[in-house]
Amino acid sequence: MSVSGVQRRLSITDIRAMKGKQPVVSLTAYTTPIAKLLDPHVDLLLVGDSLGMVLYGFESTLPVTMDLMIAHGRAVMRGAKRACVIVDMPFASYQETPEQAFRNAARLMSETGCDGVKLEGGSEMADTIRFLVDRGIPVLGHIGLMPQLVNAFGSYRSRGRTDAEVRKITQDAEAVVDAGAFAFVIEGTLEPIARQISEASPVPTIGIGASAGCDGQVLVSDDMLGLFSDFKPKFVKRYAELGSIVENAVETYAREVRERSFPAPEHTFGAVKPKN
């Protein structure tokens, strides 16, 4: 998108208008260099609270704070010129009251410059989503498997396996749409259920471990790039194996340092060139 030759970032209106026309391409980003690499190719960059596990080694997303999300949101915004940027609201920053959610969402947007926020929850969060949207905070919903509720669910298993779960997920989808979310993520949900919800939804659905029938897809960038070899979720396709490339490069570097073949004269300043 450009205005008078000046490129502008995709807006939430642009993302919403992609429903039924073009799949929404989305990936997570946490740093400026990665945002710069992804930005030309994606429609939406998600600064996910998954950064707690990916970057900081937490066992879940629960320890992630507002300060962390703001710091990484700022970093991504410095690298994003085209993609719409959405920042996750961390656990306990929005569940207490709609007023608490507004204060923290407003802080996220004002201190990062992002285009909107994402929060987890369906029917139980509908009033909060509506409260935010009515006050100018664009909201990306998130239903199905919700990582911030891992302790309540007891595991990260997929959802939609029982009639009760299907009813809950379907009701959640309707609730976030009615509350004004411009789109919503469907995570870890059985394929037929995610497909049905996507077909019925008037706003874009973005799948992760859901269905190709969703209106878009999102993955954790580090997962799809193969930066970790110890665990790969079923729904992740590895488009590269950067972990092994990094490991091989470091192994070569370590060997050359120990052999004193690095740094060579061309890597130093004012080095005396060896005589022939």
CA pair distance 34, 14, nearest whole angstrom: 23
Fold of the domain spanning 2-224: TIM Barrel (3.20.20)
Residue 3: per-residue pLDDT = 46
Strand runs (DSSP E) across 77-235, as ranges? 84-88, 116-118, 139-144, 183-187, 205-208, 216-219
Catalytic residue list: 187
pLDDT score at 234: 83
Q: What is the pLDDT of residue 18?
A: 98
The tokens for 267 are 């890597």
Domain ranges of the chain: 2-224
Residues whose CB falls within 8 Å of the CB of residue 204, separated by 6 or more in sequence, listed in order: 15, 16, 18, 19, 24, 182, 183, 184, 215, 216
CA atoms of 76 and 9, how far apart (whole Å)? 13
- 3-state secondary structure (DSSP) of residue 229: coil
For the whole model, what pTM was predicted?
Answer: 0.93
Please give the chain's pLDDT, 276 residues, in tens. Answer: 544 455 789 999 999 999 999 999 999 999 999 999 999 999 999 999 999 999 999 999 999 999 999 999 999 999 999 999 999 999 999 999 999 999 999 999 999 999 999 999 999 999 999 999 999 999 999 999 999 988 777 667 888 899 999 999 999 999 999 999 999 999 999 999 999 999 999 999 999 999 999 999 999 999 999 997 676 778 899 999 999 999 999 999 999 999 999 999 999 998 666 666
Binding site residues for Mg(2+), as ranges?
49, 88, 120
Place of tokens 């029938």: 213
d(CA 18, CA 202): 11
